[in-house]
Amino acid sequence: MNHKLKLLALAGLVAGLCMPSCKPKNTKNAVSADAAAKAYVAPGQYDAYYNFVSGGFSGQLSAYGLPSGRLLRVIPVFSVDPEKGWGYSEETKPMLNTSHGFVPWDDLHHTELSQTNGEIDGRWVFGNANNTPRIARIDLKTFRTAEIIELPNSAGNHSSPFITENTEYVVAGTRFSVPPDDVNGDVPINTYKQNFKGYLSFVSVGKEDGKMDIAFQIECPGVNFDLSHAGKGKSHGWFFFSCYNTEQANTLLEVNASQKDKDFIMAVNWKKAEEYLKAGKGRKVNVKYAHNVYSDKTHSATSEMKNMVTVLSAKELKDICYMIPCPKSPHGCDVDPTGEYIVGSGKLAALIPVFSFDKMQRAIANKEFAGEYDGINVIKYEAALYGEVKKPGLGPLHTEFDGKGNAYTSFFVSSEVVKWNIKDLKVLDRVPTFYSVGHLCIPGGDSKKPSPKYLIAYNKITKDRYLPTGPELAQSAQLFDISGDKMEMILDFPTIGEPHYAQAVPAEKIKGNQVKIFKIEENAHPYAAKGEAAAKVVREGNKVHVYATSIRSHFSPDNIEGVRLGDEVYFHITNLEQDWDVPHGFAIKGATNAELLIMPGETQTLKWVPDRVGIFPMYCTDFCSALHQEMSGYIRVSPAGSSVPLSYNTGKTTPEAAAAK
């Protein structure tokens, strides 16, 4: 056999082997030749889209540019970030306060951009805390977390932070049902069915300032609420939540919550709930939750503990909530751009059901119910069903839309994205992902107006895709060009933490609104030093307040004496710069917390408790000028009871006060 023949035989063999299992699903296994050009953004050029990606167990949120996949910023949200002083500076500590006290970490699963008239408006992005239930609002003028609200009566806020089409509400739903906060929770765990409840929270969002407030909660049967999406257009006024564990198991859910062939998507008529609220049908309940707000005027956060929510009962107020049977253990719950189609992705189901809003409305009007689930009307499956996508793949999770009549669903188990037509429910295209895809994102893909140039798949496993890094490997995002009929992979890149849901928006919606500096004259921080003349050091008992300034390239004061062991020193650093991109950092030897990064015009405070006598250097950590290395100073710490007087200066080589020998 000559060489060519051997190769042909081998090729035939390969083909033969591939055929029965249909292994390579399509030619997009190979990246096409022009992929690099499609993802290339030349140095100095801007990306076309911002991509806000949840950081999962990092607790943070990252902003990437698309199509380049360049990481622009990691925004600290629920986890401390020593790099930015988040959760370490005195000003930001209150942001992580909860009814449990200071919580330094959480698990951010989903991002949702604010909308007006069902379109992304570029003002805020919301994030959910999946562990200690909270919602955060990030201001896209500063790319900083502006507000965090805790959710009482909840455990594991997963079906969140999805919003209504004018950002009237951002919602939360309990993933782990628990006994409500106002009853005795000291009950046997196996009394789940009697004692555990699932709460949904509707958090109102201020039209102008974005301020969040828990407008009402709905008490529902104890199940696991998983994901949600608001109705839009014709279905505006409704919200849809997927529920699993309708078996109400309290142990080994892997098995015991996978018993039923169908769980539910719960449809919530929130306009009706508003009516009941107005009519006084709500029950005031004593609870405890933190509401934390950051001010760009005082450059400080405040944490307020609140103690009351209004609860509506889904069992008593029969026309708020309806259950729609959905096969099997539904995860994603996605509403198409018209608001007519609700796609449930049963992660253990072999099909994708598509429900019709109009049919559901008729079914409710005609009382086409199959019975009740714990006091909630269950609509007949067929009465709400538009149709099913048959055998689309294994392990459907999430669906996004292109606004051209197509849906894109991720399949975790079979590691692929499947494009299908909503009207005729036919599969149009499929591409493999590398590997085990979770969420998908099309810019505006859950809004009324998608911008369907790209689709990003967020993968849980990367295995052999990148250089190996020990036992833990990166998670990844994979970028597809979906402008043609076929999806085409053009790039993949690692992400921070584990990416869950992400959203993307054309850069024009955000890039022009950026805060570049904080005006020093508007700085209302109580410890601001507006100008070097205002720099001083003040002793109040054992507390020493240093009102310091920073400017390229020195601190004022930069020599401080008279601090004694037992003192608590507060460095309030005001950055006097008024130019873009000139932050200063601040660090001091032995500090048991972190650094500060102070933006132009801002004041931030680092608390330092010296633990020994001696001379301690402090310095600027953020390279600010050619003389950055000179931007430093010293603090002298004397023993407790020392008579060294408090003194401070900049630029004097002889101390004003004579130091004690």
Partner 1 sequence: MKRLIILTAATIALASCGGGSKPQETSNEPVAKSMQEQSQGTTTTGNPSYDPKRGEGKFNSTNVQVSDKLDTKMADAGEKIQGVKCASCHKLTDEKLVGPGWKGVTQRRTPEWIMNFITNPDPMIDKDPAVQAQYELCLVRMPNQGLSDEDARNILEFMRKNDGVK
Contacting residues toward partner 1, per CB under 8 A: 4, 7-8, 10-15, 17-19, 21-27, 29, 254-255, 348, 350, 391, 393-395, 411-416, 418, 426-427, 429-430, 432, 434-436, 461, 463-464
- Minimum CB separation from partner 1 for residue 47, in Å? 27
- Minimum CB separation from partner 1 for residue 21, in Å? 5
The span from the CA of 319 to the CA of 279, in Å, is: 14
Question: For the chain, first and last CA: distance in Å?
Answer: 97
The smaller minimum CB distance to partner 1, of residues 26 and 303, is found at 26
> Alpha helix locations (H) across 249-322?
253-256, 270-278
For 444-474, letters b (16+ CB in 10 Å) and e give bbbbbebbbbbbbbbbbbbeebeeeeeeebb
- Minimum CB separation from partner 1 for residue 427, in Å? 5
CA distances from 16 to 10, 21, 360, 364 (A): 10, 10, 48, 53
The smaller minimum CB distance to partner 1, of residues 433 and 575, is found at 433
- Minimum CB separation from partner 1 for residue 245, in Å? 16
- Minimum CB separation from partner 1 for residue 404, in Å? 19
Report whether 296 contacts 98 (CB < 8 A): no
Cβ neighbours for 113, distance < 8 A, ≥ 6 positions apart: 52, 120, 121, 122, 124, 125, 126, 503, 505
The smaller minimum CB distance to partner 1, of residues 429 and 561, is found at 429
The smaller minimum CB distance to partner 1, of residues 25 and 306, is found at 25
- Minimum CB separation from partner 1 for residue 177, in Å? 23
The smaller minimum CB distance to partner 1, of residues 226 and 274, is found at 226
The span from the CA of 202 to the CA of 212, in Å, is: 10
In the numeric block, the tokens 């609420």 are attached to 225
The span from the CA of 436 to the CA of 457, in Å, is: 10
The smaller minimum CB distance to partner 1, of residues 41 and 394, is found at 394
- Minimum CB separation from partner 1 for residue 255, in Å? 6
Q: In one letter, which amino acid is 593?
A: N
The smaller minimum CB distance to partner 1, of residues 92 and 415, is found at 415
Neighbours of 531 (CB within 10 A): 13
- DSSP code of 133? T
The smaller minimum CB distance to partner 1, of residues 25 and 628, is found at 25
The span from the CA of 587 to the CA of 622, in Å, is: 10
Report whether 312 contacts 319 (CB < 8 A): no
Query: What is the edge-to-edge ordering of all strands in the sheet holding 396-401?
Result: 396-401, 406-411, 416-421, 427-432
- Minimum CB separation from partner 1 for residue 325, in Å? 21
The smaller minimum CB distance to partner 1, of residues 341 and 411, is found at 411
- Minimum CB separation from partner 1 for residue 70, in Å? 25
The smaller minimum CB distance to partner 1, of residues 255 and 640, is found at 255
Report whether 143 contacts 81 (CB < 8 A): no
The smaller minimum CB distance to partner 1, of residues 417 and 588, is found at 417
- Minimum CB separation from partner 1 for residue 148, in Å? 36
The smaller minimum CB distance to partner 1, of residues 57 and 435, is found at 435
In the numeric block, the tokens 């142990």 are attached to 251
- Minimum CB separation from partner 1 for residue 426, in Å? 8
Nearest one of 360, 215, 211 to 274, comparing CA atoms: 215
Sign of CA dihedral 545, 93, 57, 411: negative
- Minimum CB separation from partner 1 for residue 17, in Å? 5
Full DSSP string of 152-217: TT-S-B-S-S-B-TTSSEEEEEBSS-B--TTS---S-GGGHHHH-EEEEEEEEE-TTT--EEEEEE
